[in-house]
Chain A
Amino acid sequence: MNTTPAENPDSGRPEAKPPAMPQSPHAPGPESEFSEADQIPVSGCFGSVDAILRHPKRILFQLRRGNSRETILVLIGVAIACALGYGLIIGLFSGGEQVFYAPVKIAAGLLLSALICLPSLYIFAALGGSKAGIEDVLGLLAGLLALTTILLIGLAPVAWIFSESTESVAMMGALHLAFWFVAVGFGLRFLHTGFKHTRLRANEGLSVWAIIFVAVALQMTTALRPILGTADTMLPKEKKFFLAHWADNLSSPSGARQQSAGREDYRQEPIVEEEGR
């Protein structure tokens, strides 16, 4: 910041000029935060997946110093691909149209949740003293999504085994949620680590944001239901909060097996239409 006062030629009195605001495309940070190993460039999808699991600082360095836009696009691509893959496992439980709908809903829901929470992430980071610009924040959020979905893919075989061993929608719902919480926990850890390199002074805001993000994502699963189980329509006709939806599912029969023309279908309780809608 330039704080040198300039003299007023008319009065001879020095005039204090307001300090100018520095502008840089990325948050500043000393190079010493990253070792030489951290500065090895990361390229391609597999390189990014390997780096985010084993050398996350390389991703952080690339987001800060390298071609961050390309890295962000790769991370988002990885997140979408992995979300579609995990969604397929979810869809296989119910079969039929859910094999196509579930992957799309999982991927779209994750991206929409991130988009909804992106402005508040920037706000909370700034309130905590972070020098991260909007591109830095987007990069870290993309990293969170990528790491979360990569871990879900890792858990996908486990989820598939359970889905072949039970007919209970509530049981499978709880299992997928538990896996999601584990995965997003690691994703949030990546986010926190990333923000530490942007001069973040206080973590409390990010912790609050984490709660908001989880709540939004959980509500998104209800807004896009059914993801497990089937219904007459692709999207619900009735608006519900996720706690109410879970309570309804837990209190109703877990799944009614139907036989129709030799096929066995698993159906949820039919969605009750609101009067007047």
Chain B
Amino acid sequence: MKTLVDSSIPDLRQLPALLRGEVELLGAWHREESGRRILFQIFVIFGGAGLFGAAIGAWRAPLQSLYLAFKLPLILILTTFFNGLVNGMLAPLLGLNIGFRQSSQLVLSSFAIAATILAGFSPIMLFLVWNAPVSDVSGVSFHVVLLTGIAAIAFAGVAANARLLDLLRVLAKDAKTARNVLFAWLAGNLFLGAQISWNLRPFIGSPEMEVEFLRDDAFSGNFYEAVLRVVGRLISGY
């Protein structure tokens, strides 16, 4: 006999529905504002992204593992929090009539999906890190761990945003509105997320530098200035 799970109470068993993108069900959840659901999503983000962060950080040192277990989910939460106002404003301006809490709930949903995917990848990441030498003079290990981590995070991000688009289509009833809202939120989240990541570095941590929670110059300069400096050096090098 089948038993029914009350969908108004957040439950880890609802995560597969999130991953499968069962939009009718998820759309019904997100039509209501729910503080409980927001807390549940934050819990999932800390659990999933934390596991993945811990796996990557283990390459450098156990302490780095602990730092990254905290920092990676923090980037997602802080991005949602600091962009909450502008995301909540952009949605109705672009045709999706939802409140601030609902827009944050939706963004957190996509981060929760990404965190769940990253949790699934964390044993693989840990296995890779376990096999990668730390004192690798050529730096190959560092780059392999870095690129694999980036690839996993990129995949999780793309999959999560695909699910978010499905959700937005259900709520907006119009594919164009859903796309516009998604792109606007993505642009804002990527813009701010890159800066928060810059402030919270290091992540994997270079073997030549000490293990630290934050660099001394964490809040001097920003990500985009650093990118411009690198581009400038490349151009002047030629």
Contact = CB atoms under 8 A, between A and B. Distances in A.
B77 to A, nearest CB: 21
B120 interface: yes
Contacts of B5: 20-23
B210 interface: no
Contact of A23 (B3, B8, B32): B3
A241 B132 contact: yes
B213 interface: no
Interface of B: 2-8, 13-14, 16-17, 19-21, 24-25, 28-29, 31-32, 116-117, 119-124, 127-128, 130-133, 135, 140, 144, 159
Interface stretch (A44-52, A112-120, A171-179, A257-265): A112-120
Contacts of B19: 123, 126-127
A19 interface: yes
Contacts of B120: 119-120, 122-124
Contacts of A212: 124
B121 A21 contact: no
Contacts of A241: 131-132, 140, 144
Contacts of A1: 24-25
Interface stretch (A150-158, A162-170, A216-224): A216-224
The 4 A-B residue pairs whose C-beta atoms are closest, nearest first, are A123-B120, A126-B19, A119-B120, A18-B28
Contacts of A122: 120
Given A220-B127, A222-B131, A239-B132, 18 more contacts: A1-B24, A1-B25, A18-B31, A19-B25, A21-B7, A22-B4, A22-B5, A23-B2, A24-B2, A116-B127, A117-B123, A119-B121, A120-B121, A123-B120, A216-B127, A219-B128, A223-B130, A241-B144
B124 A117 contact: yes
A4 to B, nearest CB: 13
B49 to A, nearest CB: 14
A276 B119 CA distance: 34
Interface in A79-134: 115-120, 122-124, 126-127, 129-131, 133
B221 to A, nearest CB: 35
A276 B136 CA distance: 12
Interface residues of A, number: 37
A84 B17 CA distance: 39
B57 to A, nearest CB: 17
Contacts of A33: none
| From A1, A18, A238, residue with most partner B Cβ within 10 Å | A18
Nearest to B25: A19
A65 interface: no
Contacts of A21: 4-5, 7, 13-14, 17, 25
Interface of A: 1-2, 16, 18-24, 115-120, 122-124, 126-127, 129-131, 133, 212, 216, 219-220, 222-223, 238-241, 274, 276
A117 B122 CA distance: 10
A117 B120 CA distance: 8
A124 to B, nearest CB: 8
Given A18-B32, A120-B124, A23 B135 contact: no
A223 to B, nearest CB: 6
Given A119-B119, A129-B20, A219-B128, A274 B2 contact: no
A82 to B, nearest CB: 23
A220 to B, nearest CB: 8
A123 B18 CA distance: 11
A219 B131 contact: yes
A23 B16 CA distance: 11
A206 to B, nearest CB: 13
A199 to B, nearest CB: 9
Given A117-B124, A120-B120, A126-B20, A18 B2 contact: no
Nearest to A133: B16
Contacts of A216: 124, 127
A18 B31 CA distance: 9
Contacts of B29: 18
A19 B24 contact: yes
Nearest to B34: A18
B30 to A, nearest CB: 10
Nearest to A213: B124
Contacts of A131: 20
23 contacts: A18-B28, A18-B31, A19-B7, A19-B24, A20-B5, A21-B13, A21-B14, A21-B25, A23-B3, A116-B124, A118-B123, A120-B123, A123-B19, A123-B117, A126-B16, A127-B19, A129-B21, A133-B16, A216-B127, A238-B133, A239-B130, A240-B131, A241-B132
